[in-house]
Amino acid sequence: MDGKGYVTDVQLFVQGNPRRQTDLNQPQTTIPEPDRPVVLTIAGFDPSAGAGVTADLKVFAAHRLYGLAAITALTVQSTQGVRRVCPADPGFLAETLDCLSDDRIITGIKIGMLATEAVVAVVARFLASSAVPRERIVLDPIIRSSSGRELLDAAGLVRLQSQLLPLVGWITPNLDELAQLTGIGIPGRASVSSAARQLAARYPGLNVVVTGGHLDPPDDFLLAAAGTEPGAADGTEYGAGHWFPGQRIDTTATHGTGCTFSSALLCQLVTGVSASNAVAAAKQYVRHAMANAYPIGKGRGPLHHLYILDKK
């Protein structure tokens, strides 16, 4: 760690028990739940494996967590953009979530693309009855794709704000998503802090991370809820916020950066690190996954989510 306590070594993304060496000739027993955290992604399916549940599961694996997935929508997409979206049947999604939660102890939840109002309602009902702590629920508010296709209908956005946001502990909007959630125009860096503060004020206890991929330099901003950082005041007041410096990487491997960041953030949170350390480590993971990416497809390629395996 550096002088501020941030995780800086790429090998230190996962804190906890080392991998166990097992004898394949000996009977294997079930590993206790607390020793192998299980995390859940509720998101859309990207057949090109750069975003959505296919990317999330790779991020979980890179952090040595076991990932479950509930699909909210099927998509026809590639590195060149989204062509079609087919939302999941709400009843089928509800059954999937109930089935998974009945089988395993879920330690944390990442929520991505939700597509429709009916899907948002199902997820809100699931969270309301879930035993997962709010501070281990991360929402990546995907509203439209980078190619401009709508990925959440207008009624779904309204329900997300009224029913879902009060139940999550973290939200990771980019500048466009923050503008739509607050109704505030965000022309640049100077407006980020005030818009994040306005969003947080509506939902006491919510941690807001504004991803700065559209800023130059691409700095991220954290507004941490009271009590999540050392020295924070009690109650629902927020501090001044914290900027995390970023550097532009010369690469076309940018497909799914938001999905990857929010999933990596969840992986850090389930280890129990502070809000600042979790954001710093997630940002570093995304940076390394971009820097180690190799060409895939004809458009904006995916990150190399499992780059750490190349270093073994």
Q: Which of 158, 242, 226, 165 is nearest to 199 (CA)?
A: 165
Rounded to whole angstroms, the Cα distance separating 17 from 220 reads 30
pLDDT at residue 238 greater than cutoff 80: no
In this prediction, residue 226 has a pLDDT band, given cuts at 50, 70 and 90, of low
What is the strand order of the sheet 38-45 is part of? 81-87, 66-78, 38-45, 108-111, 137-139, 170-171, 207-210, 220-223, 242-244
What would the pLDDT profile of 97-121 be if each residue is shown by its tens digit?
999 999 999 999 999 999 999 999 9
| pTM of the complete model beyond 0.85 | yes
Domain assignment present for 2: no
pLDDT at residue 261 greater than cutoff 80: yes
Taking only Cα atoms into account, the Rg of the chain, rounded to an integer number of angstroms, comes to 19
Domain assignment present for 24: no
Domain that holds residue 231: 35-311
pLDDT at residue 12 greater than cutoff 60: no
Domain assignment present for 242: yes
pLDDT of residue 227: 60
What would the pLDDT profile of 163-172 be if each residue is shown by its tens digit?
999 999 999 9
Domain assignment present for 30: no
Rounded to whole angstroms, the Cα distance separating 65 from 57 reads 9
pLDDT at residue 306 greater than cutoff 60: yes
User: How many independent structural domains does the chain possess?
Assistant: 1
Domain assignment present for 3: no
Record the tokens describing residue 57, joined without a space. 């599961």
Record the tokens describing residue 122, joined without a space. 């199902």
Q: What element of type H or E holds 171?
A: strand 170-171
Domain assignment present for 15: no
* CATH label of the domain that carries residue 298: 3.40.1190.20
* Cβ-contact 281, 62 below 8 angstroms: no
Domain assignment present for 159: yes
Domain assignment present for 171: yes
Q: What element of type H or E holds 76?
A: strand 66-78
